[in-house]
Amino acid sequence: MSLLSSMELFVAVANARGFRKAADMLDMPNSTLSRRISDLEKEIGVRLFHRSTRKVELTEAGQAYFRRCESIVAEARIAHESLLELAERPSGTLRVSMPVDLAITYLSPMLKAFGEQYPLIDFEMDLTPRRVDLVTDGFDCAIRMGAPPPTPSTLIARQVGLLPRYLYASPAYLRGAPPLRHPDDLRHHQCLIGAGTGKQAQWTLTSRKKSVTTAVSGRYTCNNVSMTRTLAALGLGIAVSAGPQAREDMERGDLQRVLPEWDFAPIPVYAIIESRLIPSRVRLFIDFVQASLKGYSSPP
């Protein structure tokens, strides 16, 4: 645990006069902040705060420590800001772990634009859904999709996007298929199902405040969104998809949206980093990913 980082957290709590408010300002869990301050108190051997359910106050030792830490943290920030010119010209190798579908479908154009904007950065990308150890495996960050990944206290998960999902099928498939006016009708259709659930699955769709869960089945299961979308374009069933390639398929007439009033819950995307003190190339990359994914939040 970095002593300077702990000092910064301590100063934030002292200035905010409370853990919850400081945690919100620092964008970190209240429990993590409380534990970090407790670890600092154990490390220096004195109690820094009087804690109660109603308020948090500095102890006498905490007041003396605060006067010293406040100036140290301020000086550190000045030193950090003095490197902004260098930070605007980041360099080095950026090592990132990303899921295959996300990288190919969403992030490839972004990587080109980011590389052109920062020509001194080289890229090493590991396209895999496996959990990686950022420290042992030497990654700067990992991009993950789905529910917030469980992370140890040494890691930070920052949400960088929400990807909407819709239902698509080819016009040829729909011409020979049963009527499809409500999510319950999906049980009579061939559905292209994600791997891991077998040939049957439960799909939950929402429309405004309504939510419907329907049992679906199909002959084809696949763990790759791009392949699922391609199978749908070939007329093999109904797929869950989104992103620029699905829009391009719609423009060509290969796919069309079905049940347009209904959609799936969006998939959150997270960037996993080791700490808040990261190289500028990593910070800029994560910000770039977040800005890029915002462009896919609107329906086709």
Task: Write the DSSP assignment of 165-197 as a string of letters.
Answer: EEEEE-HHHHHTSPP-SSGGGGGGSBB-EETTS
Domain count, the chain: 2
- Whether 250 contacts 299, CB under 8 Å: no
- Whether 243 contacts 266, CB under 8 Å: no
Which residue range is the domain that position 33 belongs to?
Answer: 3-82
- Whether 158 contacts 293, CB under 8 Å: no
Q: Is residue 106 scored above 80 in pLDDT?
A: yes
Same domain, 176 and 77: no
Last residue of a domain, one of 47, 82, 117: 82
Same domain, 137 and 234: yes
Which is more confident, 117 or 84?
A: 117
Same domain, 147 and 198: yes
Same domain, 171 and 259: yes
Same domain, 75 and 96: no
Same domain, 206 and 99: yes
pLDDT digits (tens, 9 = 90+) for 172-231: 999 999 999 999 999 999 999 886 666 778 999 999 889 999 999 999 998 888 889 999
Provide the pLDDT for residue 246.
84
Residue 243's pLDDT band, with cuts at 50, 70 and 90, is confident
Same domain, 140 and 176: yes
Q: Is residue 171 scored above 90 in pLDDT?
A: yes
Query: What is residue 107's DSSP assignment?
Result: I
* Average pLDDT score, the chain: 85
Which of 57-61, 104-108, 185-189, 236-240 has the least mean pLDDT? 104-108
Q: Which residues does 35 contact at the CB level (< 8 Å), separation at least 6? A: 153
Tell me how crowded residue 59 is: count the other CB atoms within 10 A of its CB: 15
Provide the pLDDT for residue 1.
46
Q: Is residue 263 scored above 70 in pLDDT?
A: yes
Which is more confident, 104 or 88?
A: 104
Q: Is residue 140 scored above 70 in pLDDT?
A: yes
- The CATH number of the domain holding residue 32 is 1.10.10.10
Same domain, 121 and 66: no
Same domain, 139 and 208: yes
Q: Is residue 85 scored above 60 in pLDDT?
A: no
CA–CA gap between residue 191 and residue 168 (Å, rounded):
10
* Residue appearing with tokens 């298929």: 177
